[in-house]
């Protein structure tokens, strides 16, 4: 089982991050030479495979995650503010912290990717004949020039990490989902491998960064003396549920 309690993945920390960043740049530069050949290879599929990829890729869109979690965040925060019984107030605060991690853990990396891809304006595989692998139309662009990084992949891997933070036993299910979404972006010919790899990195690091921020403020998570970050027990939610059940039995 992968250890998700480390502040950041793969041993990344404040001292060694420049080495990790340099290694990522090197990997992307090497992979760049294979972007187009791989893109051509993985897009050679039949109609059934294309339909499957289209179905899978929809799960990389952020609306189905952000809209429900955003609504729940507003509702739980409102109830926490309005509740007069202390145990219920604390319970709704705990709920809002959990939902908040989902909303911001997925939404902020996705927002960063959305801004970045529009600023960079890299050409997608679908306009290869027109612009090549490294065609750029920065800032004021359209769909054909919003390739790097992959937003769907960022969203999928950010959600994968959030799932793992909240329930580690479901991490591998989340990882399979994220890999499937990333693969669908390649199969549909809307992203190059370097776009997908960058989206994966941004999604993972973004989710970790949001959890780190939450832990510093003890919002659902806390940092232990040994540096590990763990989820705080939802004791108020448990007690509030027990109290409500007792009242219903009367």
pLDDT in tens, 139-179: 877 889 999 999 999 999 999 999 999 999 999 999 999 99
pLDDT computed for residue 109 by the predictor: 98
- The count of C-alpha atoms lying within 13 angstroms of the C-alpha of 26, restricted to the half-sphere facing its C-beta, is 6
pLDDT, tens digit (0-9, with 9 covering 90-100), for 179-237: 999 999 999 999 999 999 999 999 999 999 999 999 999 999 999 999 999 999 999 98
**Residue 96 pLDDT exceeds 70:** yes
For the record, the structure tokens of 108 come out as 């902020």
pLDDT computed for residue 241 by the predictor: 86
Q: Is 26 exposed, middle or buried (0-12, 13-18, 19+ CB in 10 A)?
A: exposed
**DSSP element (H, E) containing 67:** helix 63-82
Ranges of beta strands (E only) in the chain are 221-223, 229-231
pLDDT computed for residue 52 by the predictor: 94
Q: What is the C-alpha separation between 150 and 98, in angstroms, rounded?
A: 26
Lowest mean pLDDT among 47-51, 91-95, 108-112, 210-214: 47-51
DSSP per-residue string spanning 139-206 = SS--GGG--SS-HHHHHHHHHHHHHHHH-GGGHHHHHHHHHHHHHHHHHTTS--HHHHHHHHHHHHHH
Q: Which CATH class is domain 9-249?
A: mainly alpha
Q: What is the C-alpha separation between 246 and 237, in angstroms, rounded?
A: 14
Q: What percent of the chain has pLDDT over 70?
A: 99
Task: Evaluate whether 50 touches 174 at the Cβ level (below 8 Å).
Answer: no
pTM for the model: 0.94
């Amino acid at each position: 089982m992968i250890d998700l309690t480390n502040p950041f993945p793969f041993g990344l920390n404040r001292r060694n991050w420049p080495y990790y960043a340099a290694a990522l740049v090197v990997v992307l530069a090497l992979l760049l030479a294979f972007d187009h050949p791989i893109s051509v290879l993985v897009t050679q599929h039949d109609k059934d495979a294309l339909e499957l990829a289209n179905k899978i890729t929809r799960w990389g869109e952020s609306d189905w995650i952000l809209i429900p979690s955003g609504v729940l965040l507003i509702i739980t925060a409102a109830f926490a503010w309005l509740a007069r019984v202390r145990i219920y107030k604390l319970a709704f605060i705990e709920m809002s912290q959990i939902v908040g991690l989902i909303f911001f853990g997925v939404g902020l990396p996705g927002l960063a990717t959305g801004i970045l891809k529009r600023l960079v304006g890299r050409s997608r595989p679908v306009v290869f004949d027109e612009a090549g692998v490294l065609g750029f139309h920065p800032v004021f662009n359209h769909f054909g020039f919003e390739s790097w990084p992959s937003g769907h992949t960022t969203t999928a891997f950010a959600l994968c990490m959030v799932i793992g933070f909240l329930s580690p036993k479901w991490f591998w299910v989340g990882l399979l989902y994220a890999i499937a979404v990333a693969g669908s972006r390649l199969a549909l010919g809307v992203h190059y491998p370097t776009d997908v790899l960058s989206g994966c990195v941004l999604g993972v690091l973004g989710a970790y960064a949001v959890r780190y921020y939450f832990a510093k403020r003890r919002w659902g998570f806390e940092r232990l003396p040994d540096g590990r970050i763990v989820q705080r027990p939802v004791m108020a939610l448990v007690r509030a549920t027990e109290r409500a059940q007792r009242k219903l039995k009367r």
